Chains A and B, each alone.
Chain A
Amino acid sequence: MEATVFLGTFNDADIFWYPSPDLCLYYNHVSEVFGQFLRPHDLVIALTCTVNCGTLYRQVPESFENPPMYVAVMTYLGFGIVTLFGYFRDFLRAVGLEKCHIAREREEQKDFVPLYQDFENFYTRNLYMRVRDNWNRPICSLPGPVFDVMERVSPDYNWTFSLTGKTIDDVINMGSYNYLGFAENDGDFLKTVADRTQQYGLGVCSTRQEMGNLAIHEELEQLVATFLGVESSMIFGMGFATNSMNIPALVGKGCLILSDELNHTSLILGARLSGATIWVFKHNNMQSLERLLREAVCSGQPRTHRPWRKVLIMVEGIYSMEGSVVRLPDIVALKKKYKAYLYLDEAHSIGAVGPTGRGVTELFGLDPSDIDVMMGTFTKSFGAAGGYIAGKKELVDYLRSHSHSAVYASAMSPPVTEQILRAMKCIMGLDGTTVGKVHQLAENTRYFRSRLQEMGFIIYGNDDSPVVPILLYMPGKVVAFSRAMLKRKIGVVVVGFPATPITEARARFCLSAAHTKAMLDQVLFDLNELGDDLCLKFSRRKYSPRPQQHNNNDDTDFELDS
């Protein structure tokens, strides 16, 4: 049969992967029968238990399509025109023809050393300020699948805002990191959280090392360790601080950090604070990583050529700006070959990918003990705040006494801890409720991504990731898109220059298990109209137009195309 990939043998049957999102084929030698499996994720997990680890994961396609050339030209043209007008406006402000709204020094201080570097803020002053109404919108309800946005107006082109007092109700939320829908305020679900608040209060008033080590913290740490399949774990009150305060405890001067190009600021900050040497490899590029590893092993430290004390590879599970998933099996193989350590930041992927929500380790069917330091946050999929680091017992015990965050930062608040406990038990199925959320998220992801690709948008990233960046490229279109979507009562997050490369501005959609199919259909319908109105459909791929199977008249909201 055409285009199948042989995966391995399992119980006398040869297993083939057939390139379709739902099917997997098997051929049984004994009975000489061909059959079909659904849900290849489960099959892959079962197979990897019995056959070699890491060789049987399904190759999910990742795409980073390039736009046509005219798009890049127009993007630069747009930025060029705005820059010219920026210079013109700066000139007017310097001459005094226009009132200057930004911080200025006083007249008496003109002969001192300048306090404000004007040119550094050029971009902020002349581009961001003009269109600032698309960011920092005040929200006045729970950030669930729908929320309320407060309306604001600006009389002087976004230098100042004033609230009108009205709210835009029931805006569909496509920007919150609410992957499993745990951002809820239902009294029944939150009963245990309320009980714990009554028991412990809200503030802990101490650090973990002093008086702040509550029994509920220990309970959560054991649950996190069981959830991930590792020996032990430690929790921290803030997700960003988990990275930035613990990496300095793990590596120091004389160590080497190999970090991915697109790592999050918390990882970069932690790496810089530690004082180790940092080498950057191209995003998800295993040849680049291997070359750096060989260089590290061969040449050692820069001047003395002594061997590095430690080599730490830092990667993330899902990169939130691209939607791409790390190539974990390749990295684990490289790490074993070159004797390096691996630090995996699963901020966006824990709870959101994998058949039962255990993250990228489960997605690829790897053994959790292969990853030396597993880190994650509770902000995204668990609807709470804070982070964890998990791994071997010796590692976690070392961090308990040597990490800045453990020693100096305030411990996690009890209701937040209980929320994480409740969410984790729900995902694991321990409290009796059905484990439907992870599957619902996977269905929503596949549906949304496939429909968007059919429509002709350029989407980045892996087909399994719930983060969907739609490329908009031109600065004018980015702003018009955000405003038009809000007018249609859909809240999106658009990202522009400093966070992304200058030509690749995008709108980032975060799917949630709490989104119903009706909401997704509404969003897709509006995206289709806006895509035609603003000419955003740049993709040059040919997708066969499937017959319209997704009616809005359907009563069921769990069905998916097959």
Chain B
Amino acid sequence: MAFEDVWKKISWLYYQYILVTALYMLEPWERAIFNSILISVAGMAVYTGYVFMPQHIMAILQYFEMVQ
């Protein structure tokens, strides 16, 4: 039951995303292209953050002389 509600909510949110970005007017394969580009760019950003964030945080803290 909870899954039904969650699924409906996610489905409604996806519908809003489709409407706002005007993907609603495009054909399914165009939506697939746009979504894959968006997900790949977002995925790459998240991955880069995951890999490099600790080093960046250490560098900042060293700059502010909080940690040696």
Contacts and interface: CB of A to CB of B under 8 A. Distances in A.
A535 interface: yes
A131 B25 contact: yes
Given A81-B34, A85-B30, A127 B19 contact: no
Nearest to B16: A535
B45 interface: no
Contacts of B27: 130, 157
Interface stretch (A36-44, A425-433, A439-447, A476-484): A476-484
A131 B20 CA distance: 16
B40 to A, nearest CB: 16
Interface in B1-30: 12, 16, 18-27, 30
A534 B19 contact: yes
B21 A77 contact: yes
Contacts of A157: 27
A475 interface: yes
A19 interface: no
A79 to B, nearest CB: 7
A77 B30 CA distance: 16
A85 B26 contact: yes
A77 B21 CA distance: 6
Interface in A40-96: 74, 77-79, 81-82, 85
Contacts, number: 46
A74 B17 CA distance: 10
Contact size range, A = 20 to 34
A476 B19 contact: yes
Question: Secondary structure at chain A's binding surface: helix, strand, loop or mixed?
Answer: helix
Question: Secondary structure at chain B's binding surface: helix, strand, loop or mixed?
Answer: helix
A480 B24 CA distance: 8
A474 interface: yes
A157 B29 CA distance: 12
A476 B20 CA distance: 6
Contacts of A79: 22
A534 B24 CA distance: 12
Contacts of A78: 20-22
A534 B25 CA distance: 15
B10 to A, nearest CB: 15
A82 B25 contact: yes
A277 B23 CA distance: 45
Contacts of A127: 25
A141 B9 CA distance: 40
B20 A74 contact: yes
A127 B25 CA distance: 8
Interface string A19-39: 000000000000000000000
Q: Nearest 5 CB-CB pairs, A to B?
A: A78-B22, A476-B24, A476-B19, A476-B22, A74-B20
22 contacts: A74-B20, A77-B21, A78-B20, A78-B22, A81-B21, A81-B23, A81-B34, A82-B22, A82-B26, A85-B30, A85-B34, A130-B26, A130-B27, A131-B25, A474-B19, A474-B22, A475-B22, A476-B19, A476-B20, A479-B25, A534-B19, A535-B16
Given A81-B21, A476-B19, A480-B24, 13 more contacts: A79-B22, A81-B22, A81-B23, A127-B25, A130-B26, A157-B27, A474-B22, A475-B22, A476-B18, A476-B20, A476-B23, A477-B19, A480-B19
Interface of B: 12, 16, 18-27, 30, 34
